[in-house]
Structure 1
C-alpha cells in the first residue's frame, strides 16, 4: 500500500499534467484537509519531491491569500540538450544533483527506466569510492560521457 506522501505526490503530478500551462497553485491547508493530514506533510512532499533537480520550480506566498505554486520546468529540446547537460553537470556534480538530472531525463522520456538505473549504478557513491572532490569530478565525467553517448545515437 502506498503511503500518504506518495498519494499526495501523484495527485499533484496528475493535476500538473492536466494543466495546459504545467502550473498548479494550491493552498496548503486546503490540500491537507483534502488528504486528512497535517499541513507539514504537504510541505514535506513539496520540498522533497518537487525540487529543481527533479524539474520543478516551487514558489510560495505567505499570508491570508497565500498559495504554493508548482511549475514543471520544460526540459530543453534535443538540439540544446548537450549544452544543458554540460551546464548542469559542470566540472563536478554531487550524487543528489546527478540523481535529480537522471530523474528529470527519465521523467521526460529521454531515457528509459533501464538506462536510468544503469546511470544511477555508475555514479553511486558506494561505487565511486574516492575522496571528495575527486569523486564528484569523476561522477561528472562519467555522467557526461554516458549522456552524450546516449543522445548522440
Structure 2
C-alpha cells in the first residue's frame, strides 16, 4: 500500500505528464487540501522527491500569491546529464540518499538496467562502506564519479 508521500509524488508527476511545459506551478495549500494533509507534507515530498539529482529544479515564492514551481531538467543527451551529475558530486563527496537519487535517475533514463542499479545501490550502502561518515561520503562520491565517467565514455 502506498503512503501519502508516494501518492502526492505520483500526482505531481501526473500533473507533469498532462502539462505541455517542462515546468508546473502548484500552490502548496491547494495540494494539501486535496490530499487532506498538512502543507509541510507537500514540502517534504518536494524536497525529497523532486531534487536536482532526480532531474528537477524547485523554486518557490512565499506569500498570499505564492507558488512552488517545479521544472524538469531536460538534457540534450546523456552526455550532458552525466556531466551535470559529475558537477553535483565534484569534490563534495556524496551521501547515500544523493547516490540513490542519481542512480535512480540513471535507471529512469535508461543508462542502467534495474539489476545494475540495484547492485550499485547495495555497493554504496552505509553498511558496506563501514567508515566514519565523512570518509564514507568521500569514498562513495569517488565511486560514483568513476561510474559516471565510465558511463560517459561507454554511451
Which bracket does the TM-score occupy, shorter chain normalised? Answer: 0.7 to 0.9
Offset of 1:121 from its aligned partner? 1.0
Tell which deviates more after alignment, 5-14 or 89-98.
89-98
Cα separation, 2, equivalents of 1:62 and 1:85: 29
Q: What stretches of structure 2 of length at least 5 have no aligned partner? A: none
Partners of 1:79 and 1:46 in 2: how far apart?
A: 26
Distance 2:94 2:37 in 1: 36
Moved more, 94-103 or 65-74: 94-103
**Distance in 2 of aligned mates of 1:81 and 1:137:** 21
Post-superposition offset of 1:132: 4.5
* Offset, 1:133: 3.6
Secondary structure of 1:111 counterpart: coil
Displacement of 1:150: 4.0
Deviation of the 1:53 alpha carbon: 2.2
1:113 maps to what in 2? 114
CA contact (8 A) 1:16 1:24 kept: yes
1:147 matched to 2:148? The reply is yes
SS of the aligned residue for 2:25 comes to strand
Worse-matched range after superposition: 7-16 or 37-46: 37-46
Query: Normalized against structure 1, the TM-score is what?
Result: 0.84
TM-align CA RMSD: 2.2
Describe the shift of the 1:52–1:138 C-alpha distance in structure 2 as closer, same or farther (beyond 3 A): same
Q: Check conservation: 1:53, 1:104, Cα contact below 8 A.
A: yes
CA drift at 1:75: 4.0
- CA change 1:29–1:124 in 2 (3 A) is same
Deviations, residues 1-46 of structure 1 (Å, cap 9, x unaligned): 2122111110001111232222111111111221222222212211
**1 CA distance for matches of 2:41 and 2:34?**
12
Gaps of 5+ in 1: none
Shift of residue 94, structure 1, vs aligned partner? 2.7
